[in-house]
Structure 1
Amino acid sequence: MGREELAALIAILEREKDKGTGSPVLGTWKIQFDKKRNAFVFDKCENEGYCEERPAVISLSGEILDPGGPLF
């Protein structure tokens, strides 16, 4: 990840913090950068495999590509 991506991540986290309980980032255990989608993936799986929700995906511009949500 380069400077542009880090700056985007900081902006996304600050904006999502201000949203409070309505943020798709809440409950995240791991943040990854997906080069193919040019987006951050906020993974909500515990213990590398137990997942109750699909991850939220947010582009560098802050657009929510997938808000995540329950699998079951």
Structure 2
Amino acid sequence: MNESMQITFMQLRIIRMFAQKMNNSISQAASLLYENGALNFIRQCFDSLHLEGDEGVYEDVERFLNAKGVTVNA
């Protein structure tokens, strides 16, 4: 699997985690992450993020969103 596919799979896993933790639909979670630049954050930081488990990536993305003033109610 090439790196682009690995990034896409990571983004999808994190979208699903946000949907579950926020008790929202996958499309709502995807919109939140896309509109606030979190999916691009995952793409740009993939080299370091792929060394973490999904829970660690989730926490990094949540911190990224919080720094932008986005509150995630998990």
TM class, shorter-length: 0.3 to 0.5
Could you say which structure has the greater relative contact order, defined with CA pairs below 8 angstroms and 6 or more residues apart?
2
Kindly indicate which of the two structures has a greater share of residues assigned to helix.
2
